[in-house]
Amino acid sequence: MKFSFLLVCCIITIYTHSQAGHSHRLERSLKFPDIAGYKTMKCDLHQHTVFSDGQVWPNIRVQESLKDGLDAISLTEHLEWLPHKDDIPYPDRNRSYEIALKEAENHNLIIIRGSEITRKMPPGHSNAIFIEDANKLLIDDSIKVFQEAKRQKAFTFWNHPSWTSQRPDGIATLTDMHRRLIREGLLDGIEVVNEHSYSDEALKIALDNNLTIMGTSDIHGLIDWAHDVPYGHRPITLVFAKTATSEAIHEGLSNRRTVVVHNNLLIGRDEFLIPLVEASLKIDTAYYAGKTDVLTVMIKNITSSEFTLQNKSGYTLHEHSDLVTIKAGEQQKIMVKTVKRLTNVDLKFEALNAVNAPGSHPVITLKVKVQ
């Protein structure tokens, strides 16, 4: 009946629910703070539509992303795998980008042109984003296609290196071809998170080879169903960009400034991971109650991920063991036995839901100024 009913739906939804005094709803939009010197850009840079093997028109990808509060996306259609070819016979490989771009007009959502280079292992699947023309990537030779991508100034990354269809044991492993791509500057990043998977081995490859740590949804169907929205959410790559622009995201990615969010799990290099976690946990109040020498501290988690912290402060806690969890968007009271009254206290925690290397977690410091 209606040719453009989604805007209407949005408005209705806002009207119907925004002021409800009794709401049971979980908030869907993803929240992560900026860090010193950078905008934190929420990106999902690996997605599909009917223009390759996905199951929705590109406008749905834009609408999902707006609901999720993303800042940038890329629709990275397979160049070589077109199961809908009987119905969509002459696809311009830039077509889903163009439709998305139009849909995103008047919204704060950056659409990045990209494509998936789809090969058997090695090198498996890879994405090239920030390209100029996807059609020009229709090149058989696996090295030459990366060279063309780079000629277009693309940022490239290896997709799902732990995918069990190409690695039945799920162990991401570098091949000679990958080593060559890296050596020749043709491969910039690697997915450590793809859809539901996380790979310790991919993280190690990233760290050992100075690759950008990436996480993407690789969505084909619906985000809501694949990620159990609003109870879960899609994986995203946080890119620390100097400004909120496409160019700045490109620069941030190229300089390895990312943290991947995979539900409650945050993966990144300490240089960005520690400031992100520290910015995520706000000290709201800190005081000694009554005549006690026990410090009450209210910590607010302003993100969409639950934090699991292990106390490394040297003080024991009055209500917790060494384990403290802080749910997404909630505030947690902790009581610190400082033995005597102090005016400044450094709370140190190992952030167990954050990973800076396989099996390794950053230790963060929350600086508390007593009121």
Q: Give min distance, CB of 280 to a second copy, in A.
A: 12
The strand ranges marked E within 66-184 are 72-78, 110-118, 125-129, 155-158
Decide whether 241 or 274 has the Cβ nearer to a second copy.
Answer: 274
- Structure letter (DSSP) for residue 360: B
End-to-end CA distance of the chain: 61
Closer residue to a second copy in complex, CB, 197/212: 197
Minimum Å distance from CB 97 to a second copy?
Answer: 13
- What residues pair up with 73 in beta bridges, in sequence order? 44, 111
Query: What single-letter amino acid sits at 49?
Result: T
Cis-peptide, bond into residue 230, ω within 30° of zero: yes
Closer by beta carbon to a second copy, 208 or else 228: 228
Region of 77 (left: φ > 0; alpha: ψ -120 to 50; beta: rest) is beta
Which amino acid, one-letter code, is at 326? I
For a second copy, the closer of residues 166 and 209 by Cβ is 166
The length of the chain in residues reads: 371
Measured from the CB atom, the residue of 139 and 302 that comes closer to a second copy is 302
DSSP 40: E
Please, what is the minimum distance in Å from the beta carbon of residue 230 to a second copy?
9
Query: By the 8 A CB rule, do 139 and 145 touch?
Result: yes
Shortest approach of a second copy to residue 358 CB, angstroms? 7
Query: Would you say 150 or 178 has its CB closer to a second copy?
Result: 178
- In sequence order, the 6+-apart residues with CB closer than 8 A to the CB of 92 are 98, 135
Q: How far is the CB of 183 from a second copy (least distance, A)?
A: 26
Distance of closest approach, residue 203 Cβ to a second copy, in angstroms: 9
Q: How far apart are CA 290 and CA 293, in angstroms?
A: 9
